[in-house]
Amino acid sequence: MSTNKKVKSALISVFHKDGLDKIIKTLNDLGVTIYSTGGTEKFIKNLGIDVVAVEDLTSYPSILGGRVKTLHPKVFGGILSRRDNAGDIAQLSEFEIPEIDIVIVDLYPFEKTVSSDAEEQDIIEKIDIGGISLIRAAAKNFKDVICVSNMNQYDEFLQILLENNGLISLDNRKAFAAKAFGVSSNYDTAIFKYLNRDFKIATFRESFDKSSTLRYGENPHQKGYFYGNLDDLFEKLHGKELSYNNLLDVDAAVNLMNEFQEGLPTFAILKHNNACGLAQRNTLVQAYLDALAGDPQSAFGGVLIANKKIDSATAEEIHKLFCEVVIAPAYDEKAIEILKGKKNRIILIQKDIVLPKANFRTALNGVLSQEKDDITDDKSHLTQATKLHPSDKEVEDLLFASKICKHTKSNTIVLVKNKQLCASGTGQTSRVDALNQAITKANFFNLDLKGAVMASDAFFPFPDCVEIADNAGVSSVIQPGGSIKDKLSVAYCDANNMSMIFTGTRHFKH
């Protein structure tokens, strides 16, 4: 028995009508009976095409201000009936229910309404009932019915109709059913997340209805995908497609630079999710040059990000470096022309949007979820730990270092002088190792640490780190505090003319 089915009838009721006219005209040419209601019915009539009103089929009007239109046995019976079941066919005949072979339905724009800051009643009215029910019914009965559940599917569906003269295969019907349940799942998740803002029910629900297939994952033998809409965050001006590793670095870069949106021009260079260079200066070009000076080796192949418009002078300097991605809020026209000199270099304009407030990742056979670390240490958080107070300039450097430290892999130590990242020790199993790594790097690139400051993402359980830092030239320290042996580190600082301040906030990053 053939699994191809000739379509004879269609129910169409959509919110978005762009591109729908071609489908309707094709269905009409194929002799398909069309049922519709409301605005879609009027749209079809305006095309000069015959349409049967759902109200005429059900002998029941639309009621409750349009809340109930298609919820009727004569509609759902025609969709859910099994064409190879004699009992179903007999009941269709008994109750004069027509078979429905195609359901084209989309959903009220719930997420868009939420994002518009509409009143709650307006949002609730955008919770679709009839549409979601039609989608689920048609998708469930994919053996006999095809469900088109989103306007993004119009072109593919039209192509199927035209290529096969109205014959639709089981594979096509099943594929569209999978898409339909993807649509309904995403929709229900959005509603749950909206309502759950007030109740915090401990259930993990995340859904993204847009995806990108990446060249590969973290390594070439791994498949990789991105779920989400990057167009909401970036305007891409040039370059190849972002890779899995690019996206991880871009994510780290964006979150780091969010700490420096206000104030003087700031430039950061990242590699493997950590800053290898960062500086704040009166001009962006100088900020870039001093960021690069922090570690010109690691900068090769890195991701670059600025908090101000990139001008031609900065672009000229950037162009001397091989880098994967450049991100900024804007660019001069000349700067774009210069940066496009490397065909694969990815150039992004970052848009002003709010990033998610939660982080999650797979772990074992489940998911770990947490609130985003949204505490940025400032002067109001600081507690003086030592007899010697840091100078105003040192406090500025300490807070600058703390921001970088927050966005660096633990265990980490960050060394800063004059609002320039001198070096950092990243992702070490020992805090002493992280400090030694940072000092070694700073010395290798001839960065003078005399008068530099040190930031740590967590407390010092022993005084060894402050002693090593002191011997390297560090004059002031910022750390969360909280160790039962804090007094040992404080005592060393007091005895050696160093200042130390506590923030009270740990910034682990794994």
The 3-state DSSP class for residue 407 equals coil
pLDDT category of residue 13 using cuts at 50, 70 and 90:
very high
Helices (H), 354-476: 392-406, 431-444, 464-472
Active-site entry in 17, 272, 309, 340: 272
Scanning the structure block, which residue is given the tokens 């007091």?
494
DSSP readout, 200-240?
Answer: --S------S-EEE-S-SSSTTS--EEES-GGGTEEEEESS
Which of 328, 345, 344, 349 shows the shortest CA–CA distance to 285? Answer: 328
For residue 271, the one-letter residue type is K
Confidence of residue 2 (pLDDT cuts 50, 70, 90): low
pLDDT in tens, 283-318: 999 999 999 999 999 999 999 999 999 999 999 999
pLDDT digits (tens, 9 = 90+) for 370-420: 999 999 999 999 999 999 999 999 999 999 999 999 999 999 999 999 999
Mean per-residue pLDDT, 424-451: 96
pLDDT at 70 over 80: no
Judged against a pLDDT cut of 80, whether residue 108 lies above it is answered with: yes
pLDDT computed for residue 312 by the predictor: 97
* Residue of 353 and 476 predicted with greater confidence: 476
Neighbour tally for 188: CB within 10 Å: 15
Identify whether the C-beta of residue 404 lies closer than 8 Å to the C-beta of residue 275: yes
Helix (H, G, I), strand (E, B) or coil at 264: coil
Q: 83 with 63: CB under 8 angstroms?
A: no
According to the model, what pLDDT value does residue 226 have?
A: 94
Rounded to the nearest integer, the mean pLDDT of the chain is: 94
Q: Is the pLDDT of residue 149 over 70?
A: yes
Q: What value does the mean pLDDT take over residues 233-251? A: 95
The pLDDT-based confidence of 44 (bands split at 50, 70, 90) is very high
Is 111's pLDDT higher than 90? no
Query: Is the pLDDT reported for residue 227 higher than 90?
Result: yes
pLDDT at 115: 86
Q: Copy the structure tokens of residue 132.
A: 């979601």
Chain length of the chain: 510
E strands, 30-99, where?
Answer: 33-36, 52-53
Query: Which one is catalytic: 6, 8, 140, 143?
Result: 140
The region, left, alpha or beta by phi > 0 then psi within -120 to 50, assigned to residue 165 is: left
> Residue 436 burial (CB < 10 Å; 0-12/13-18/19+)?
middle
The CA dihedral of 40, 45, 47, 48, to the nearest 10 degrees, is 160
Distance CA 183, CA 206 (A): 13
pLDDT at 66 over 80: no
Helices (H) then strands (E): counts for the chain = 18, 23
The answer to whether residues 509 and 410 touch, using CB atoms and an 8 Å cutoff, is: yes
Q: Give pLDDT, residue 65.
A: 78
pLDDT tens-digit map of 317-350: 999 999 999 999 999 999 999 999 999 999 999 9
- Give the 3-state secondary structure of 61-80: CCEHHHCECCCCHHHHHHHH
Give catalytic status of residue 193 as yes or no: no
Per-residue pLDDT at 1: 45
Is 381 catalytic? The answer is no
